[in-house]
Structure 1
Amino acid sequence: MRNVLEKGLLLGIGLAVKSKEQIEMFVEDLVKKGEIKKEESNDLISELIQKGQQTQGQVDDMIKERMKIILNDLNLATKAEVDQLEKRVRQLEQQKQE
C-alpha cells in the first residue's frame, strides 16, 4: 500500500515538472508568434506556474481526502491504533511475567 502511495506522489511531482516545461514551451511559442513580448514572457510563465501549483495543491488535497475515504472503507488500523495495541500487549506480557 505504501508503495502505491509513493508512486502516486512521484507521479504528481513528475507531472509538475513536466507542466513547467510545457508552460515554458507554450510561452516561448507565443513569443515567437508575436502574441506576447519577450519582456512579458517571464511574468506570464510565473503566473501560469503559480496557477498550476494552486491547481496541483487542490488536486493533492482531493487525492488525500479520497485516500482517507478508501483507507477508512478498507477498515485498516491506523498507526495510532497499532501503537496502542503494541503498548497493551507489552503491558499484558509484563503482567504475565509477574
Structure 2
Amino acid sequence: MRDMLHRAVSLGLGLAVASKEQIEKTVEELVKKGEVSRAESGEFLEELLNKGSEAKARMDQTINDKVQGILKDRGIASQDEVKALERRIAVLELAIARLEKQDGEKAE
C-alpha cells in the first residue's frame, strides 16, 4: 500500500486535479483487485485526498507566484497597489477641496 501511495504522490499533479469521486473509484478498484484491503482503503483514501489537497495548494501557490512575477516584470500594478493609489488620490482630493474652500473663504 505504501508503494502505491508513493507512486500516487509522485503524480501529485494528477492527485491535485482528480476529484474525490475519481480517487474513491480508484481506491475501490484497488480493493476489488486485492491490492488494498477493505480495512486499509479508508486510511489510504484519506491519505490520497490529503496529498491531493497539499499538491493542489502547492500548485496554486506556484502559479500565483509565477503570475505575480510576470505582472511585476511587465510593470503591471497589483490590486493592492491600485487600492493604495486610490486611497492616496482620495486623500489628495480631500486636501485640494479643503484648500479650495479656504481660498474661497479668503476671497469673500
| Both structures adopt the same fold (TM-score exceeding 0.5) | yes
Calculate percent identity across the aligned residue pairs: 35
Structure with larger RCO (C-alpha < 8 A, sep 6+): 2
Query: 2 CA distance for matches of 1:82 and 1:40?
Result: 56
Runs of 5+ unmatched residues, structure 1: 1-14
Runs of 4+ in 1 over 4 A off after TM superposition: 15-18
Aligned length: 84
2:23 alignment partner in structure 1:
23
The 5 Å alignment of 1:8-87 reads 18-72=18-72, 73-76=74-77, 78=81, 79-87=83-91
How far 1:16 moved relative to its partner? Answer: 6.0
Point out the structure with max Rg over C-alpha.
Answer: 2
Runs of 5+ unmatched residues, structure 2: 1-14, 103-108
Q: C-alpha root-mean-square deviation of aligned residues, in Å?
A: 2.2
Map Cα deviations across residues 2-43 of structure 1 (whole Å, 9 max, x no partner): xxxxxxxxxxxxx96852111111001101111111110010
SS of 2:19's partner is helix
Map Cα deviations across residues 46-96 of structure 1 (whole Å, 9 max, x no partner): 101111111111011112212322332242261112212222222122212
Q: If the length of structure 1 is used for normalisation, what is the TM-score?
A: 0.72
SS of 2:99's partner is helix
Residue 93 (str. 1) matches residue 97 (str. 2)? yes
Query: 2 CA distance for matches of 1:68 and 1:86?
Result: 26
Q: If the length of structure 2 is used for normalisation, what is the TM-score?
A: 0.66
- Which residue identity is paired with 1:60? D
Query: 2 CA distance for matches of 1:91 and 1:30?
Result: 70
